[in-house]
Structure 1
Amino acid sequence: MSQVRVHNFSISLDGFGTGEGQALETPFGHAGERLHEWLIGTQFFHAGDQLAGGTLGADNAFAAQHNPGIGAEIMGAGKFGPPGWQDDPDWKGWWGPNPPYHTPTFVLTHRPRPSIEMEGGTTFHFLDATPTETLAQVREVIGDADIRIGGGATVVRDFLAEGLVDYMHVAVVPIVLGRGVRLWDGLESLEDTYNIEPVTTSSGTTHLTFTKKR
């Protein structure tokens, strides 16, 4: 059976995975890019950009685990677009004609639309389904490859609450947001079902890995 994984999911010290006020101009609300500065500085983030460079070290090592073995991504409506994107038939995501996923990508929304085939191997499929139903449909498409839960915080939390996540990497960034969408609400006693290991890096980021106990 394929594994369900979460990688490079950044939260603030107070547990917010995105800020308040998401809009076309502010994809992460008032948080801006502060949650992802640790990632933006890595060599992994700049792969293919010969001039940009980027750092190595532990941050890059965690970041680079994002893609290997992944056959599909699942994301929420808020990751695919700003509030109201469902009313724009031409909206195809934030990423331009060649999104960075290069796999089938399943968007959870209460207003599904026909699939959109993009450049580079990404095809967006739109589902109105529970986490368990979604995984069943994704596995019918991709077989035994691993599945990445890409966010936002609500989607990751929903899959965790149903016990469906096998491995999760959360990057705790040393900022306080105070408002937005929190990851941990309602998720008590995760330590009972996951082995949790922390690694703190020179960027000030603490990487937490959660591996499901067998």
Structure 2
Amino acid sequence: MPRTRIHNFSISLDGFATGEPQSLEAPFGHAGQRLHQWMFATRFWDPSGSAGVDDAFAQQFAVGIGAEIMGSNKFGPPGWQDDESWTGWWGEDPPFHTPVFVLTHRPRPALTMGGGTTFHFIEASPSEALSAAQEAADGLDVRVGGGPTVVRDFLAAGLVDHLHLVQVPILLGRGVRLWDGLEGVEESFDVESVASPSGVVHLTFTRRTD
């Protein structure tokens, strides 16, 4: 059966997945790029990077994925809906190469980019968005790409089958936390952890089937 997956989702030791305030100049607010330095050092990101445990996890990002769901704040900075020329952070060839469903209260016509990525802007609940993405994925898995509010909503709705978190050894103190309102969510998953020499810890949550 196709699964709903989350990959390479970084959080700080105090549970924040982004800092504040988000802007065009600072997509992750005061966190900068500190949550993602582990990934930038891998071959997944840079051919000259490392091929260790971090790379092995990062490489699973696109395997078997047929569609993505993301939140409005992942697609652009606050106010992007008022800029008809905004096409996302990623240039003409975004890294998704699948249909991408952007959750927004202000839908707009679909946007076709290079490399097989088409952004669909929809107003929908998690279950409605997942149904649309599953249909577009044509039997492959659906990836929930973030940000933290969207990931939290999908976890709260019981719609996530596989969650790969990367705990980064920094303290942010403020921003958007992943775990708020999710007390006991781990009881639905088998949880494994792998420590990396880079200092991060990879946490894999796999939904129990029994």
TM-score normalized by the length of structure 1: 0.96
Which whole-Å CA distance do the structure 1 matches of 2:67 and 2:29 have between them?
26
Instruction: For residue 2 of structure 1, report the CA deviation from its aligned partner.
Output: 1.2
CA RMSD of aligned residues (A): 0.7
Tell me the SS of whatever aligns to 1:54: coil
Q: What residue identity is the alignment partner of 1:126? A: F
Aligned residue among 142, 148, 170 for 2:137: 142
Are positions 1:93 and 2:88 aligned together?
A: yes
Aligned residue among 203, 207, 210 for 1:212: 207
Which whole-Å CA distance do the structure 1 matches of 2:28 and 2:73 have between them?
9
2:43 corresponds in structure 1 to 43
Instruction: For residue 142 of structure 1, report the CA deviation from its aligned partner.
Output: 2.2
List per-residue Cα deviations over 1:26-52 (Å, max 9, x = no partner).
Answer: 0000000000000000011124xxxxx
Which whole-Å CA distance do the structure 2 matches of 1:92 and 1:105 have between them?
12
Q: Where in structure 2 are there 5+ consecutive unaligned residues?
A: none
Q: What residue identity is the alignment partner of 2:118? A: T
Which whole-Å CA distance do the structure 2 matches of 1:201 and 1:134 have between them?
34
Q: Give aligned pairs, total.
A: 209
Which whole-Å CA distance do the structure 2 matches of 1:142 and 1:209 have between them?
23
Q: What residue identity is the alignment partner of 1:138? A: A
Aligned residue among 110, 115, 118 for 1:120: 115
Instruction: For residue 72 of structure 1, report the CA deviation from its aligned partner.
Output: 0.6
Instruction: For residue 156 of structure 1, report the CA deviation from its aligned partner.
Output: 0.3
1:5 corresponds in structure 2 to 5
Instruction: For residue 140 of structure 1, report the CA deviation from its aligned partner.
Output: 2.1
1:1-214 superposed matches below 5 A: 1-47=1-47, 53-214=48-209
Which whole-Å CA distance do the structure 2 matches of 1:27 and 1:69 have between them?
28
List per-residue Cα deviations over 1:97-122 (Å, max 9, x = no partner).
Answer: 11111110110000010000001100
Tell me the SS of whatever aligns to 2:159: coil
Tell me the SS of whatever aligns to 2:68: strand
Which whole-Å CA distance do the structure 1 matches of 2:27 and 2:6 have between them?
20
List per-residue Cα deviations over 1:189-212 (Å, max 9, x = no partner).
Answer: 122100011111011101000000
Q: Where in structure 1 are there 5+ consecutive unaligned residues?
A: 48-52
TM-score normalized by the length of structure 2: 0.98
Which whole-Å CA distance do the structure 2 matches of 1:139 and 1:17 have between them?
26
Which whole-Å CA distance do the structure 2 matches of 1:62 and 1:40 have between them?
13
Tell me the SS of whatever aligns to 2:70: strand
Say if 2:65 and 2:137, in contact at 8 Å, map to a contact too. no
Say if 2:66 and 2:136, in contact at 8 Å, map to a contact too. no
